[in-house]
Structure 1
Amino acid sequence: MAYYYLVSQLPNISAAEGKSALPLNQESFKELCCRFLSEDEKSVVGSLSLVPPKDASSTGSVFLDTWYEKERSLRYALAQIRAQKMKKDAAVLPPGVTADIIQAARTAVGMDSPLSAEQFLFEYRIRLLDELRPLDSFSVDSVYAYGIRLLLVERMKKFDAEIGKTSYHKIYDNILEGDK
């Protein structure tokens, strides 16, 4: 019952709102969750991240474990394809990497603009999140899914094309200088 009251208070969030402020930020989300969740659930909400743990340790949530496995697989695929593109050695992909993850990574790496690649990966992650979202909209896993969505949207709103282009060229030049 507590999840119903929590989920019903969560506003809709969308990256389509441009640079306007979100109706809720991570801090407000965690604060709201503290009123309705158990200590263990609060701990999980407090540790939500877009960077999955390197090891496949259990979070206590099947939804989060699956999300982190998919995100970890995507990151491995991106790393391998980028390394191959630069003619460098790459780590072997873990067994959980599926064909759709490899295709998404190839598409992103093949894009000319890093911002376009990030937008593509954002949309891919949102679709994946929607596919994994629990059927019970008023479960703790729905709260976790909302937290991940909020992290994704907040991250996407931080991108600025000019600042990103300058940073990209600086990083790329440093990489090329390191190869000499």
Structure 2
Amino acid sequence: MSMYYLMAQLPSLDGIGENAPPPITEERFHELCHCFLGKKAQRNLNRLTLAPPRDFEKSGSSLINAWNTAERDLRLALGKMRAEQMQKHFDAGDAVFPIGLLQAARTAVEMENPMEAEKFLNHYRLEFLETLRPMDMFSEDSVFYYGLKLKLILRASRFDTSAGKAAYRNIYSSILNGDRLEVLS
């Protein structure tokens, strides 16, 4: 019954425009979840991330596991393609990437404007997340879906062109100078 109360209090994230502010903060979302979720679900909620580590622990949620796998693979494919473009080595391990993911990564890497590439990748991630949307909107996986979607929307709302250009130049210079940067956190 508590899941119904939780989901009924969360504002819809559907139809939010690119420049519209999110209808809820991540802090408020976690406050509401803290009141209604059990300890195991709260642990999973606290481990939701847009940047899963290369070797992540499986959670008790098939949605979280699918998200982490797909996001890790996307980041590895992007790293591999960017390295190939600069004629550098990148160890993607023995990962086999789905064709749709490879196409998305290739499209993003070929874009001249880094901001447009990030917007494209954010849109790709939102579309992928939509494929994971649970049929039962009153399940723990629905809460995790909501949490990931909120993270993606909040991330996009913080895109700053001038800060992005400065960070891009810094990262690109460090790569050209041979500094080692981690692609995955």
Match for residue 116 of structure 1? 116
| In 2, Cα distance between equivalents of 1:15 and 1:83 | 34
Determine the C-alpha separation between the residues in 1 that align with 2:93 and 2:129.
22
Which residue number in structure 1 is paired with residue 71 of structure 2?
Answer: 71
Matched residue SS, 2:40: helix
Once the two structures are superposed, residues 51-95 of structure 1 have per-residue CA deviations (whole angstroms, 9 ceiling, x without a partner) of 113224211001110111111110110010011001011214544
SS in 1 for 2:107: helix
**C-alpha contact 1:48 1:148 (8 A) present in aligned 2:** yes
Structure 1 residue runs of 5 or longer lacking an equivalent are none
Q: Partner of 1:89 in structure 2? A: 89
Secondary structure at 1:159 match in 2: coil
- Conserved in 2, the CA contact under 8 Å of 1:6 and 1:33? yes
Aligned equivalent of 1:39: 39
TM-score (norm 2): 0.89
Q: What letter is aligned with 2:17?
A: A
Residues 77 and 93 in structure 1, CA contact (< 8 A), matched pair in contact too: no
Percentage identity across paired residues of the two chains = 42
1:77–1:102: 8 Å Cα contact kept in structure 2? Answer: yes
State the partner residue of 1:125.
125
Contact map agreement 2:18 2:156 (CA 8 A) in 1: no
Residues 151 and 94 (structure 1 numbering): CA distance in 2 closer, same or farther, change over 3 Å?
Answer: farther
What is the RMSD computed on CA atoms of the aligned residues?
1.7
Deviation for aligned residue 1:146: 0.4
Q: 1:166 to 1:106 in 2, by over 3 A?
A: same
* Unaligned runs of at least 5 residues, structure 2: 180-185
Scaled by the length of structure 1, the TM-score of the pair is: 0.91
Aligned residue pairs total 178
Preserved contact between residue 11 and residue 23 of structure 1 (Cα < 8 Å):
yes
The letter of the residue matching 1:155 is: R
